[in-house]
Amino acid sequence: MTTGFGARHHLPLPYAKDENALEPHAILLKVGEFSQRRAVQHTAWMACNLLCRLEGVVSALVVDCPREAILQPFVIPGGEVGAPFGSELVRGINRFRLIQAMKGSSGDFTLHVGPGHEPGLRAIGNGWIGGATTRPWFGNPASSLSFGPYVAACYGVAEIFRRSRLRSYAPLESAFYDCWDGTPLAEFKLVSAECAVSGEPVTLAGVGAVGCAWLHAIWATAGIRLKATIADPDPEGVEFKNLNRYCAFGADDVGTKKASRAAELLSREGLVLQPFDGPFEGLTTKEDVVVCAVDTNDGRGGVQSSYRPRMLMAATKDLRLEVLRCSAPGENACCRCYNPPDRRESDEAIRQRLQGLSEDALAKLVGEVGLGLAEAKDFVFRAKCGTASEKLLSEMRHVGAEGPRRFAIGFVSVMAGTLLAAETCKELLRNRGPLNDSQNRIAIQFVRPGLNFAASRVARDPNCPACIPSSPAVQIWIQRFRDYENIERDVA
C-alpha cells in the first residue's frame, strides 16, 4: 500500500472484535424486483462471490431468487446463459468449493439486491453508480455495466463485515459512489449509462486480488473489446490463502499460474487476454495504457521504470484503498512516489527471529506453510538450506519486525479493481473528468462508508528518485506524455 499519499484523508482502523466471541452466520441473499436485469444480476453475483470468501463471518449462503429470472450473458464466468439465475448463482459459488451455497428463503441475516420495498440492508447498482442503503428503493436499473453493481456488492458485503467485526460499528443508513465523477453520494441516482471501448491495447501488471477484480469487471462489461497482456511472476501461483480475496479463482485453481489461469477463465469474444507468467519488466511490448495492480513497492517501482505515457495504479491496505492516475510527469505523484523499496531482512536475521518463537508457535507457522517441524528445525537451528528454508524465508518476509502482515478483505480488493477498471475505460474513452491532472487520486475507506471524499490531487513525493523533473528519464517521460496528449487532440 502506498505509505505517503495513501496516509492522507482516512480514518483510523478500529480494533476488531474478539474473534473468539464471534460465530459465523448464514446469509440470505434475496434478489427482488427486475431480477432479469443485468445490473441486478451483476450485483447479486459479485455479492455472492464476496460473501463466500468471508471466512469466519459467513457460514453458509442461502439464495432466494424469483423463478422466472434467467441468467444473462457476461454475468457469471462459466455460467449457463438462459438457465435459471438462482440455480446458476448457487452452482457458480459451489464451484469455488469455499462455502456451501443453497436455495432457500431464510438466514441469520438478509442482504437484499436491487429494487424493492422491503426494509433491511439493500445493495443497489446501475451504470457507474453503486452502494448500499437500509431504505426501500424502487426503480428500473437498465444498464449493463458492471462497475456500479460491483461497487454496490462491495458496499453491501462490507456492511455485513462491519457489523460482525468492528467494535465501533456505526450502522449504515445510505452510502453510494459514482465511478464516473469520482464522488461519494448520500443517495442513489438512477442514470442510464453504457460503455463501448475497443481497439487500444492494455497491459495489466499483477494478477492478484486487485488484478483479478480488474479482469472480472472488464470481462463482465460487454461493450469492452480490447487486447490485454496480463503479467504476474508469482512462482507459487494461486495459493489457498489467496482465495479470501481473489474473486476469479476457487479451490480447483490452487497451484496454477495466475496470469495463465486468469486468461483461461476470463477471455471471451472481444477480450483477448495474453498471459505472461513473469515480471512486468520482462515484457517487450510497449502498450499505451499500463494498469498497475502489483502488491509490493518493488513491483510499483518496476512499473514506474517503464515511463509509459499512461499509467493507472490501485492499492489496498486493511479497509482502505486508493486509485492513482500517473500524469503531469514531475508534478503529480508517480507509481514510485511514497512507495520506498520493500525492506529486506537478511536470511540470518529471519532465522534468528524464528529461533525466538516458542515450540508451539513454530509448529503452527510451519504447519501453515506446509512443512514438517523436524524439517523446519533443520533450517532454524542448524542452518541447513533447502525447500524448508525457501518456504520459511518467503513466509517470514511477509511477517516483519513490525508485526503480522496486514489483513486483506475481498470487498476492498474488488472495489479497488472495479474503480481501476472504470478508470481504464475512461482513459480509453479519453474522458477528462476525474481522474486527470488536477484530480489524480481516489481514496475510499470502509470504516465509515458515508464519510468518503471526492477525487483529489496528490503532488509528487519530493524524495522520490524516479520522477525528479530534471532527470533524463523524466524528460523522456514528459516527451512521451506530450506526444500522447497531441495524439489525443488530433483524434478529438
pLDDT of residue 327: 86
Residue 270 φ then ψ, to 5°: 90, -15
Residue 405 has which C-alpha cell?
A: 502482515
Distance CA 451, CA 173 (A): 12
CA distance 344 to 347: 9
* Residue 162 in grid coordinates: 462491519
Question: Residue 402: what pLDDT?
Answer: 40
Q: How far is CA 452 from CA 123, 125, 285, 321, 436, in A?
A: 18, 18, 38, 11, 19
Is the CB of residue 445 less than 8 Å from the CB of residue 154?
no
15-40 per-residue burial string, b: 16 or more CB within 10 A, e: under 16: eeeeeeeeeebbbbbbbbbbbebbbb
Model pLDDT, residue 9: 38
Residues with Cβ < 8 Å from 417, sequence gap 6 or more?
Answer: 209, 210, 211, 212, 213, 214, 215, 216, 217, 247, 293, 314
Question: Is the Cβ–Cβ distance between 234 and 206 less than 8 Å?
Answer: no
Give CA–CA dist 456/459, Å, rounded.
10
User: pLDDT truncated to tens, each residue of the chain (492 aa)?
Assistant: 444 434 333 345 555 565 544 577 899 999 998 999 999 999 999 999 999 999 889 999 999 999 999 999 999 999 999 999 999 999 999 999 999 999 999 999 999 999 999 999 999 999 999 999 999 999 999 999 999 999 999 999 999 999 888 877 888 999 999 999 999 999 999 988 888 988 789 999 999 999 999 999 999 999 999 999 999 999 999 999 999 999 999 999 999 999 999 999 999 999 999 999 999 999 987 767 999 999 999 999 999 999 998 999 999 988 999 999 998 999 999 999 999 987 666 777 777 888 888 888 888 887 777 778 888 788 788 777 766 667 777 666 655 434 434 456 899 999 999 999 999 999 999 887 889 999 999 999 999 999 999 999 999 999 999 999 999 999 999 999 888 877 655 444
Q: What structural domains and CATH numbers belong to the chain?
A: 23-185 (3.40.50.720), 197-340+408-491 (3.40.50.720), 347-396 (no CATH)
Q: How many CB atoms lie within 10 A of CB 241?
A: 12
Q: Do residues 253 and 200 make contact, with C-beta atoms less than 8 angstroms apart? A: no
* Cα separation, 492 vs 481, whole angstroms: 17
Please enumerate in sequence order all residues whose Cβ is within 8 A of that of 115, keeping only pairs 6 or more positions apart, or say none: 32, 33, 34, 40, 124, 137, 138, 139, 140, 141
Q: To 10 degrees, what angle do helices 38-51 and 85-96 make?
A: 30
> Any residues with CB less than 8 A from the CB of 19 and at least 6 apart, and which?
56
**In this structure, are residues 461 and 333 in contact, taking their beta carbons and an 8 Å threshold?**
yes
Question: What pLDDT score does 10 carry?
Answer: 39
Residue type, 461: D
